């Protein structure tokens, strides 16, 4: 089944095939390929190890920026304080 360009544009980026990505405009192609590469890198991570990157002031307000030291996955959370 061939999808129209409008259907392809409405499909979540992670679900697009390489043929569908090729039908997007150059900026859309770049975004889709970077997104899929990042997801593949995160999926291949042997075990996420969070590293805190927030300042003391941000942490005191409940905003805890962080990322995995192995793959770079964003592991930020807001504790809601």
Quote the DSSP letter at residue 1: -
Judged against a pLDDT cut of 60, whether residue 7 lies above it is answered with: yes
* pLDDT confidence bin for 4, thresholds 50/70/90: very high
Residues contacting residue 42 through CB under 8 Å, at least 6 positions apart: 68, 71, 72, 73
The domains of the chain are located at 1-44, 48-81
Q: What percent of the chain has pLDDT over 70?
A: 98
Q: What percent of the chain has pLDDT over 90?
A: 57
* pLDDT confidence bin for 1, thresholds 50/70/90: low
For residue 40, give Cα distances in angstroms to 31, 48, 56, 64, 74: 14, 14, 32, 25, 14
CB 47 within 8 A of CB 74: no
């Amino acid at each position: 089944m061939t999808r129209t360009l409008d259907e392809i544009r409405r499909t979540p980026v992670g679900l697009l095939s390489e043929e569908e990505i090729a039908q997007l405009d150059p900026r859309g192609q770049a975004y889709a390929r970077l997104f899929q590469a990042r997801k593949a890198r995160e999926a291949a991570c042997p075990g996420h190890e969070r590293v805190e990157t927030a300042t003391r002031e941000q942490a005191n307000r409940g905003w805890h920026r962080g990322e995995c030291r192995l793959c770079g996955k964003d592991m930020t959370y807001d504790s809601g304080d």
